[in-house]
Structure 1
Amino acid sequence: MNPFTQLSASSIEARHLVTGLAIVAFALSLFHLLSDRAGVERWHAEVGSTPVTVYQPEGMQEQAPAVLVSHGFAGSRQMMEGFALTMAQNGYIAVSFDYLGHGRHPEPLYGELGEWDGAAAVLMEQTRQVMEFARDLPNSDGRIAVLGHSLGSGLMARFAQLNEDVDATVGISLFAPKTDEQTPKNLLSVVGGFENRLKIQGQELVAMVTDDHEPDDIRPGQTYGSFDDGTARRLEVIRGIEHVGILFSSRSADQARLWLDEVFDRSGGGFTLSSGGWIALLFASLVVLAYRLAAVLPVVSSPARGVSASWKKLLLVAGAPALATPILLAPLPTEFLPVVVGDYLAVHFAVYGTLMLVALWWYSGWQAPSQWYATIGADPKRLIVATALLLFFCLGVIGWALEQFITSFYPVSERLPLLAVMFIGTLPFFLADEWLTRGDGAKRGAYPLTKLLFLVSLGIAVALDYESLSFLPMILPVWIIFFILYGLFSRWSFRRTGNPLVAGIVNAVAFAWALAVTFPMYAGVSPP
């Protein structure tokens, strides 16, 4: 037998095996993720204009406390589902909702940001309406607990302080500067091992109910104060977890459930969520399937196109804009869209990308526009087909998984104009970046280098205006995951299509989508 034929056959068998294993992993992870919902009745409603989801045991006969579950900044109900399912599986009624301007809420947030009598007061009034709804549910026994993450944790802690009938507060990644010795009642602070600042504040909150008030003496996992008079407090530290990962940790959900069982003197069913690992496996299987599906993309350019930039050219074309962009934008007003932080990111992408395109044009000797078509060298029909197929996988398949198990991914109609504007911002960057880092002679490591430079550029922007952009460092892990994920799609699609435009357009849409859907809509200090 011809050894090359044998090698080819072995290679094909290996690819089929990998594809089969990926399909099995996808099915297995999906089965386990959906099994977490088994036995839970989950239904949607609206409280005024607020979208809510109610979780309770199937066929529930007995009455039980209701737990209000709120998300953080740029979050949604889906992000908190692990906590809601844990509560419902253990006999509680969980009521999860989208804050104004977040998730699927059609109305923007308003009020002065960062002020307790501004936007925070508006959100707490929204929470009060949801609490009244939860208390009136048929199986509610009238007792209320609140649970929130990040921004939601501080809001819920303050809400509990102002509402004496809230019996317990669980703060995930808790930051609650208004807390005092008496309120909120029965407070649990759960923080990730990498959230050292929040751990220190958690020790301070717990120390308030001790005799010596010494935070350094507070031991995680130990209860201080008394459940009888509502002064019970505890700090739980989940090792190896950061600000976002804590939402998908079974340990954080389990600690929240155990705390409420102690407060309400209940014995839950012992259900422990196991979604974190299965979500990771689900997305890992989708990445493998994306690798295999890239093989069906049509060839768009032959030979392959791209700059194949040297290290010197890479550092100049991508490095100079990394320094220039935050400096240029620092004195300029960038709050031109009704979306918090996302408008700055769109402008940052646009300016950074435009500077890169100008630098590439300069390197080409100021090539005339009439010569661009020959340089791009793309078959228009094949370009459209390849881009459409990759977009379908990213938005249809990956997007479906994100919508089901991570966060709100498909936008309400009110966000569609934002999506269009964000795309105008992201397109120059990703077109320039793909063209710069691809080509037959592209340097290994060029693509990660330009993403690192972009993150450094954002870091400089945060340093120049920390008050407005302080949220960006907290979502750094999400940015890194996105760059890695779409970087893989970019590499595989280019290797097959031979043209950087495919991934440039797809990545621009994907990041514009994330910015438009994730960040809060904001109407200003006055009601819309």
Structure 2
Amino acid sequence: MSKHDSDHPHPLGWRLTPARWAVAILALAAIVVSLWHLEGERRGIVIEPLPGTGTTPATVYRLKDAPPAPVVIVSHGFAGSRQLMQASSLTLARAGYSVVAFDYEGHGRNPVPMSGDVASPDGTALLLMDETKRVTDTALAQPWADGRAAILAHSMGSYIAIRQAKVDDRLAATVAVAMSSDDVTPTQPRNLLIVNGEWEGRLVPDALESLQMADPDAQFGATVGDPADGTGRRAVLAPNVEHIGVIYAPTMLREARAWLDATFGRPQTEGPVANMGGWIALMLTGIVALGWPLARLRERTHDPRPEPLSRKRFLVVALLPAVLVPLALAPFDTRFLPVLVADYLALHFALYGVVALALLASWGEVKWPGRAELRRILILAGLVAFYGICVFGLAVDRYVMSFYPVPVRGLIIAAMALGTVPYMLSDALMVEGGRAPLWRSATARGAFLVSLGLATALDFERLFFLLIILPVVLVFFLLFGMMGGWVGRATARPAGAGIGLGLFLAWALGVTFPLFQA
């Protein structure tokens, strides 16, 4: 820390060192350049709602004033939304297709929860197939549709798409991205293209096995049959990507475009595909990095740093809840929200935070602030939450996934906040607002992730979907835990950073979990 940063408060910009000014300028440049490229992918494309699909939100992507063209239905995977599939939607629209992307029940801005039995092929899957058919019916009735159709889907969506294509003769081709399905046969669905990421583990041999149903000697990159007569089969690995990265992979986008051109007898489209993944990553990195200089725009307090926890006390407060909480919750039925496992996660966060705060309070580490200090803490918490929800969230909602919820999700966000706020408050106090050594931050947050893993192991059937949310929590810790440290160190008010991050985490989880009503 420079002497200039530690002196008495100066007017707004004077608090920033040259290094922080440089980071601010570079971060803003990264955001502006990324936005310019991402918006460039949308230029010339008509993007509008598709009416007539009932409660299912759907978006049309097509070239302006283009003649009627084949319709491509685009569906997302579990916990995804229409925005996640934009690279495919924009690439195919620019190639002259009429593209319709939609949010499945329980996902994105669809207000209707998923229902049925998610573990049964005759349960939830049939309802999602009906929804896919309803969207297809509506799309094919539009003046920009020429009566032909295909479907492109990711992960869970590919499972639904394959089953639907087998019973809907209008779907002339299926592009299954990150495919996970045991419903493929040597001849059904027609014209199947499988594109999996090279780093997708067990899905890689599954894709090859599906291709070899039609030709036992076929390998990745080979085409079996002829897409022109509906017998085509092809499987491709997109290099150096995993389950999410494959959505943005140029290999996947080029292969999907070429496969559909061959299916519909159209000239092979030349030119680049939508380039979004790298620019999205740069934009979000810029938004996070901008938090470092912005943290110093609040007036610093010069109160002495509290005495840090002893090593023994820190290990007790970091590790005891990790074991105690999953054991304490295991005997109870924690289902009280219309959403998969979010109710359990809210309780896990809440009990974890309460236990940790109780331990800290017993050692005198938690003191109720005076009125003026409480006001400063709450203002700081509001600023942190605003930056996460309204700045980072705005970028995520436009380019990555649905981040602004339908009203029914308000209850879920509120319930999550009752858990995430005490947890993140205890976390901020444990790591002294980012001043503690790195090993303490890693231990505290790693223990929480292990605790969720232990909870899943104790009731795998009910809490399996917690494994899907673990990467979200890990990314939150890596990115926003770091931002919280910047704010905590700059303001010496770890409680403000902790409460603000707790509110943001509740929002992020509340819009991510699929709605589910048994």
TM-score normalised to structure 1 length: 0.90
Distance 2:305 2:433 in 1: 6
Partner of 1:252: 252
- Tell me which of 13, 16, 25 is aligned to 2:30: 25
Partner of 2:65: 59
Partner of 1:373: 368
Partner of 2:400: 406
Partner of 1:461: 455
| 1:461-485: CA deviation from partner (whole Å, max 9, x where unpaired) | 2233333333443454433221111
- Tell me which of 86, 92, 99 is aligned to 2:91: 86
Check the 8 A contact 1:409/1:517 in 2, yes or no.
yes
| 1:301-350: CA deviation from partner (whole Å, max 9, x where unpaired) | 72345x62333323221212212222333332122110112222212212
Sort the Cα spacing of 1:469 and 1:269 in 2 relative to 1 into closer, same or farther, 3 A: farther
* Matched letter for residue 334 of structure 1: T
Check the 8 A contact 1:146/1:169 in 2, yes or no.
yes
SS in 1 for 2:274: coil
SS in 2 for 1:112: coil
User: Shift in Å at residue 17 of structure 1?
Assistant: 3.0
Partner of 1:170: 175
Partner of 2:120: 115
Partner of 1:292: 293
Partner of 1:15: 20
Q: Which blocks of at least 5 consecutive residues in structure 1 are unaligned?
A: none
SS in 2 for 1:191: strand
* Matched letter for residue 239 of structure 1: P
Distance 1:341 1:129 in 2: 29
Distance 1:327 1:334 in 2: 13
Sort the Cα spacing of 1:452 and 1:223 in 2 relative to 1 into closer, same or farther, 3 A: same
Matched, 1:138 2:143: yes
Partner of 1:332: 332
* Matched letter for residue 373 of structure 2: D
Query: Identity over aligned residues, as a percent?
Result: 39
Distance 1:425 1:501 in 2: 15
Sort the Cα spacing of 1:313 and 1:441 in 2 relative to 1 into closer, same or farther, 3 A: farther
Distance 1:48 1:311 in 2: 58
User: Shift in Å at residue 30 of structure 1?
Assistant: 0.4
| 1:174-221: CA deviation from partner (whole Å, max 9, x where unpaired) | 1111222221111112212221111111111111111xx4xxx54222
SS in 2 for 1:148: strand
Distance 2:415 2:147 in 1: 46
User: Shift in Å at residue 11 of structure 1?
Assistant: 7.9
| 1:337-378: CA deviation from partner (whole Å, max 9, x where unpaired) | 1011222221221222222223223334xx9xxx8325x897
User: Shift in Å at residue 439 of structure 1?
Assistant: 5.9
* Matched letter for residue 102 of structure 2: F
* Matched letter for residue 285 of structure 2: A
Distance 1:176 1:153 in 2: 7
TM-score normalised to structure 2 length: 0.92
Q: Where do residues 72-471 of structure 1 align in structure 2 (5 Å cutoff)? A: 72-210=77-215, 213=216, 218-266=218-266, 267-299=268-300, 302-305=303-306, 308-364=308-364, 372-373=367-368, 379-438=373-432, 442-471=436-465
Q: Which blocks of at least 5 consecutive residues in structure 2 are unaligned?
A: 8-13
User: Shift in Å at residue 116 of structure 1?
Assistant: 2.3
* Matched letter for residue 331 of structure 2: P
User: Shift in Å at residue 434 of structure 1?
Assistant: 1.0
Partner of 1:70: 75
* Matched letter for residue 412 of structure 2: L
SS in 1 for 2:223: coil
Sort the Cα spacing of 1:479 and 1:256 in 2 relative to 1 into closer, same or farther, 3 A: farther
Deviates more, 1:479-488 or 1:64-73: 479-488
User: Shift in Å at residue 428 of structure 1?
Assistant: 2.0
Check the 8 A contact 2:228/2:265 in 1, yes or no.
no
Check the 8 A contact 1:42/1:55 in 2, yes or no.
yes
* Matched letter for residue 280 of structure 1: A
* Matched letter for residue 372 of structure 1: K
SS in 1 for 2:449: helix
Distance 1:440 1:476 in 2: 22
Check the 8 A contact 2:434/2:486 in 1, yes or no.
no
Check the 8 A contact 1:308/1:441 in 2, yes or no.
no
* Matched letter for residue 290 of structure 1: G
Distance 1:455 1:329 in 2: 16
Check the 8 A contact 2:16/2:296 in 1, yes or no.
no
SS in 1 for 2:515: coil
Sort the Cα spacing of 1:110 and 1:372 in 2 relative to 1 into closer, same or farther, 3 A: same
Partner of 1:490: 484
Sort the Cα spacing of 1:348 and 1:381 in 2 relative to 1 into closer, same or farther, 3 A: closer
Sort the Cα spacing of 1:254 and 1:465 in 2 relative to 1 into closer, same or farther, 3 A: farther
Distance 1:440 1:141 in 2: 59
Deviates more, 1:355-364 or 1:398-407: 355-364
User: Shift in Å at residue 125 of structure 1?
Assistant: 0.7
Partner of 2:11: none
Distance 1:507 1:149 in 2: 31
